[in-house]
A = this chain, B = another copy of it.
């Protein structure tokens, strides 16, 4: 597993929000139902994303969470730096604390180019691109129960 569950929920939630009309706040409850994830846990994650200034939060009636202006341009990297921590990009495969070009683990020079591919992907992929992909209907954001909920609701 390359991402923590927290990160997976964060990315899923933000993509979902990017597919919704940006004028009105989205309810944590609704996001959780759509994704099929525990609502209180998701709330905590959304709060930390708000603290990291990726989105706004509004309390009270008609409250909810909103992507900040230009939120469509948020990249996966920005999200993961918040949810996985700032050391996310500097990982050594063997877990060495100090592993750089100067003092390297035996895997270092094999790993670096692959890691670059990953980082490029994360920096190049914006919520906008992912939201558009979802809106075509060809891609799924969560496992089945989300659609099931839609059918019950309709």
Contacts and interface: CB of A to CB of B under 8 A. Distances in A.
Interface of A: 1-3, 5, 8, 11-12, 15, 91, 93-99, 103-108, 110-111, 113-114, 117-118, 121, 125, 130, 133-134, 138-143
A118 B114 CA distance: 7
B134 A96 contact: no
Among A11, A104, A105, A142, residue most surrounded by chain B Cβ atoms (within 10 Å): A105
Tallying the copies of this chain within the complex gives 2
Contacts of A103: 140
18 contacts: A3-B93, A5-B95, A8-B93, A8-B95, A11-B93, A11-B94, A15-B106, A96-B143, A98-B143, A105-B140, A105-B141, A107-B125, A107-B130, A110-B125, A111-B121, A114-B114, A114-B118, A117-B117
B106 A130 contact: yes
Nearest to A136: B106
Contact of A95 (B3, B107, B108): B3
Contacts of A1: 91, 95
Given A104-B139, A143-B96, A121 B117 contact: no
A113 B111 CA distance: 15
